[in-house]
Amino acid sequence: MNKPLSYKNYSANVEFDADDRIFVGHLTGITDIVSFHGESVSELIKAFEAAVDGYITMSEMHGVKPQKPYSGKLMLRISPEIHAKVARTAEASGKSINAWVADVLQAA
């Protein structure tokens, strides 16, 4: 199971750099670029938490609010007719409305 790192509502993706033999991570869900690295899992986790804390502190020091990650929840207001069409299309594809809409948005 692959679970992203999470700390103070920030998440990160991690990759292993075989050339440098380190784990490299980047915060996800924000447009600011925040990265960190570590040679071991415990070092990586400490670096991740320090990067998040540093990002929040530096943002506040510069008088800007740190970006908040997206929640993954998206509320839409659509007509009942569109809602019904989406439901039929999702059912025909063997998916829930949520899964079908997520697939359509991913392809956009």
CATH number of the domain that 42 lies in?
A: 3.30.160
Q: Report the SS3 class of residue 14.
A: strand
Is 80 inside a domain boundary?
yes
Q: What is the Cα–Cα distance from 49 to 79, expressed in whole angstroms?
A: 44
Assess whether 11 and 50 both reside in one domain. Answer: yes
Q: Do 23 and 39 contact (CB within 8 A), yes or no? A: yes
Answer yes or no: are the C-beta atoms of 26 and 5 closer than 8 Å.
no
Based on the domain organization, do 47 and 86 belong to the same domain? no
Q: What is the pLDDT of residues 28-82, one digit of tens each?
A: 989 999 999 999 999 999 999 999 999 999 999 999 999 998 777 888 899 999 9
Do 78 and 45 lie in a common domain? no
The whole-model pTM stands at 0.67
Confidence label for 14 from pLDDT (cuts 50, 70 and 90): very high
Place of tokens 């925040």: 34
Residue 93 lies in a domain: yes
What pLDDT, on the 0 to 100 scale, is given for residue 2?
66
Structural domain including 93 reads 74-108
Domain count for the chain: 2
Provide the pLDDT for residue 1.
47
The verdict on 55 and 79 lying in the same domain is no
Contact 71, 9 (CB under 8 A): no
